[in-house]
Amino acid sequence: MNPSSPRVMLLIDADNVSSDVIEQAVQRTMAEHGAIHVRRAYCNAETALKQQAMFKRLSVRPMVNLSAGKNSTDIALAVDAMDLAVAERPDIVVLVSSDSDFAPLVIRLREKGCRVCGIGQQGKTGDETVAVYDSFIDLQHHQSDRAAAAKPAAKRAPRAPRRAKATPAPAVARVPVLPEDVLRILDAVPELGAGGKIELNHAAERLRGAKLLGKSASSPKLFKKYPELFALTPEKTPNKVQYVGPLAS
């Protein structure tokens, strides 16, 4: 065998890489080795039908797998690769796939005396896949780029006229935060929150029940701690109390 013209076998996992990467892989292998003696693509029936024009143009023989089981296409490729390695005795086997499941096949083909090169699709190949091959390259998928270039640029909508600067809304007065003691008083005597005048004796009874006022403590003294919030009437001898502060938020 002429060492300047090695026998090259190209096996493609067509269910794993895009048609654009397949075309690049064939062209790159031809440019590097000058000839490809075996060209086969392994795929399901749907892919074979969809890519038949490309397979015909590249002189790639589709090997249709009708089994629906998991990894059935990979298994078909591996079995065929070993048969071809014995029958065709290739010097170089090029596997086009980003699948790490082919590691045992790569090792076995190398034992048969083949140099095993890998071609994968960029973004799909893991580091553990690259390491097992004698050489490995990732090819970028350009299909989406071409589609984007072919797509006409969308017309830009006319810019809306600038709106006049809105006048800021007047600030809303914020309700002050009430002291904790006042909130407890309003909770214990809810009638105060309604704004009505309440008998001091009734208010004191409620406050003592809520343990806000001692048995002998004076309720007017408690309310006088917050003169801006509670009004006692009459002034000299008060017997009623009224809440005059803001509502609790």
Same domain, 70 and 142: yes
Kindly report the CATH number assigned to the domain that includes residue 35: 3.40.50.1010
Same domain, 21 and 74: yes
Question: Do the domain assignments include residue 76?
Answer: yes
pTM across the whole model: 0.56
Question: Do the domain assignments include residue 225?
Answer: yes
For residues 117 and 129, is the Cβ–Cβ distance under 8 A? no
Say if residue 169's pLDDT is above 60: no
The residue written with tokens 């090792």 in the block is: 107
Over the Cα atoms of the chain, what is R_g? 43
- Report, as an integer, the average pLDDT of 1-26: 89
Question: Do the domain assignments include residue 37?
Answer: yes
Task: Please list, in sequence order, all residues whose beta carbon lies within 8 angstroms of the beta carbon of residue 56, skipping any fewer than 6 positions away.
Answer: none
- Report, as an integer, the average pLDDT of 54-70: 90
Question: Do the domain assignments include residue 159?
Answer: no
Question: Do the domain assignments include residue 199?
Answer: yes
Amino acid identity at 219: S
Same domain, 193 and 74: no
Domain tally, the chain:
2
Residue 228 belongs to domain spanning: 180-243
CA 128 to chain centre: 24
Same domain, 14 and 68: yes
Same domain, 73 and 123: yes
Question: What is the reported pLDDT for 158?
Answer: 59
Question: What is the reported pLDDT for 182?
Answer: 86
Say if residue 3's pLDDT is above 70: no
Task: Please list, in sequence order, all residues whose beta carbon lies within 8 angstroms of the beta carbon of residue 6, skipping any fewer than 6 positions away.
Answer: 33, 90, 91, 92
Same domain, 135 and 86: yes
Same domain, 134 and 67: yes
Tokens for 49?
Answer: 């039908």
Question: What is the reported pLDDT for 173?
Answer: 47
Question: Do the domain assignments include residue 72?
Answer: yes
114-162 pLDDT tens trace: 999 999 999 888 888 888 999 999 999 876 544 444 455 455 555 666 6
- State residue 64 phi and psi, 5-degree precision: -80, 130
202-241 pLDDT tens trace: 888 889 888 888 888 888 888 888 899 889 998 888 899 9
Same domain, 206 and 144: no
181-199 pLDDT tens trace: 888 898 888 888 877 888 9
Question: Do the domain assignments include residue 94?
Answer: yes
28-49 pLDDT tens trace: 999 999 999 999 999 999 999 9
Question: Do the domain assignments include residue 105?
Answer: yes
Confidence band for 22, pLDDT divided at 50, 70 and 90: very high
Same domain, 138 and 24: yes
68-106 pLDDT tens trace: 677 889 999 999 999 999 999 999 999 999 998 999 999
Question: What is the reported pLDDT for 150?
Answer: 44
Same domain, 42 and 137: yes
Same domain, 15 and 109: yes
Same domain, 33 and 126: yes
